[in-house]
Amino acid sequence: MLNNTLANFYERDLRKLIEEVNLFNNEENLWKTHGSVKNSCGNLVLHIIGGLNHLIGATLAQTGYVRDRDQEFIRKGVERNQLVAQLEELIQVINQTVNALTPEQMEAKYPLNFDDIHPPTCYVLTQLLLHLNYHLGQVNYLRRMLE
């Protein structure tokens, strides 16, 4: 039950992120910042893609994804259609992975140290969803400031 609920929330919020990316009138604004904001919307999207592919895809589904966290914040100019395609792929990875977890796997210790502890997988999946929402809000706010 929790699996399906989490998977649905991830998909809902990743689709909202796709909508935010597509709402930019000027694609170049994806890579701009404003005032004290240090991360562009494009870099936040790359961070979400990298983090979730690593922490859900590679860690739980053994997809083989290799994360380069530094590049999530350094890369610029990735085309909008590529960002959207990567988010669409991420939705599939998360849906398949989260929905396949058994209740025992959801309650088992997450394979990596997370928040300086070894919490159950359901804790990590919930925390990652909250983190996604945090960044989704940042993207929305920055997009509205820039356009």
- Cβ atoms < 10 Å from Cβ of 46: 23
Instruction: Write down the pLDDT at residue 140.
Output: 98
Instruction: Write down the pLDDT at residue 1.
Output: 84
3 state SS of 34? coil
* 72 within 8 A of 47, measured Cβ to Cβ: yes
Q: pTM score, two decimals?
A: 0.97
Averaged pLDDT in 10-residue chunks for the chain of 147 residues: 95 98 98 95 98 98 98 98 98 98 97 93 98 98 97
* 140 within 8 A of 20, measured Cβ to Cβ: yes
Specify the residue for token string 């398949």. 96
Give the Cα separation of 131 and 81 in Å (integer).
24
What single string gives the DSSP state of each residue in 96-110?
Answer: HHHHH--HHHHHSBP
- Cβ atoms < 10 Å from Cβ of 122: 19
Extract the tokens encoding 121: 């997988």
Residue 136: DSSP 8-state: H
* 146 within 8 A of 25, measured Cβ to Cβ: no
